[in-house]
Amino acid sequence: MRPELSYVLQAWHRKVTVPNRLLPWQQHQWEHLCSYIAQERIPQALLITGNKGLGKQQLANQFAVALLCATPQANGMACGVCSSCLLVNAETHPDFIQVQPEEPGKGIGIGQIRSLITRLTLKPQFETYRVVIVNPADKMNNAAANAFLKCLEEPTERTVIILITEKPAKLPATIISRCQKLAVVTPDKETVVEWLDKTLQSKSPLLQRGDLLCNVSLAQGAPLLALDYANDETLTLRNESFNAWMAIAKQLKSPVIIAEDWHKLPASPLIFWITSWIIDLIKCSYHTKVENLYNPDLSEPLQGLSQRLELKGLYKLYDLLLASRQRLDTQINKQLLFEEILIQWHELNRSK
């Protein structure tokens, strides 16, 4: 059985340890957060946004423990040794509250928010702050979001609420308008490759630069996702999926049979990979340089395909893939979804 991909499962890292270093691409955001502390203007609600795999949760944790710490360091970091820091590490700090889906793939329900509201009626037990982290905030259903609004409209003493999301457009405007915003941006490719190379120094065998670039590309530039991919079989799964996709193009395999296999796998990465292959085919049609492709390691077969496929058909399939990505958040039949995509891909190749 294949390892499930971390960003599809939305694995919730429940254990929080006091951070002792910043991720290198978060320095600007950390300085911004430290300025709140230095000016004694801590926002009652903070909204942290950014793509998956950029370390938004880690940044929020770091800010949270800095607020909870009794003796923070000069650089704003938590000391790691005071009673508050030790309680955070033991996951028993009474003033550090995390709200998240109770199961992967589920939402945040009204019951969880009501429990939070009840808990916030009590005073913080320590003399610093009480911190609430809601991640991902966009997973609150309508009833939960409406109830949560009360937390923002009627803030309680020494309480800081941190919302985390990669989809801010899914949050009600009434919630967004009551938050200070902080965006974590995707770093440039070279920064990610350099960080990934240093982080994987102990990995044996060492990954070559080409493999690092492939992992970064697969992760859409998100460093932590790229690290996950380097440590599991994601690249292998992607290559096997590409081979199956090419077999359909060569009329060697049935799209229905491949769809039956694929529906057992996480849908989100597969949709992304297919979309990236279609984009690269379109780019190859315009003679784009190999290094500017999503999948430079697949440039040879992609360039060969691009010479015989019509752009109109590629754009039509691209539109279907965009619509399919939107449907992933709904209750869908994955097998039928992949059948629709792969049959259209099969027909596009059969026309030549």
Res 10: pLDDT: 32
Q: According to the CATH classification, is domain 233-350 in 1.20.272.10?
A: yes
Res 40: pLDDT: 85
Q: According to the CATH classification, is domain 6-183 in 3.40.50.300?
A: yes
Res 14: pLDDT: 35
CATH number given to 188-228:
1.10.8
Residues of the chain with pLDDT below 50 are 1-19
Q: Tokens 């000069």 identify what position? A: 74
Residues 6+ apart with CB under 8 A from 300: none
At 198-243, the pLDDT tens digits run 888 766 566 777 778 888 888 889 999 999 888 777 888 899 999 9
The C-alpha angle 300, 301, 305, rounded to 5 degrees, equals 120
Res 346: pLDDT: 96
Res 13: pLDDT: 33
Res 215: pLDDT: 84
Res 46: pLDDT: 97
Res 11: pLDDT: 31
Domain ranges for the chain, please list them: 6-183, 188-228, 233-350
Q: What secondary structure does DSSP assign to 152-209, as a single string?
A: HHSPPTTEEEEEEES-GGGS-HHHHTTSEEEEPPPPPHHHHHHHHHHHTTTSSSPPPH
Res 17: pLDDT: 44
Order of strands, edge to edge, in the sheet holding 45-49? 96-99, 130-134, 159-165, 45-49, 180-183
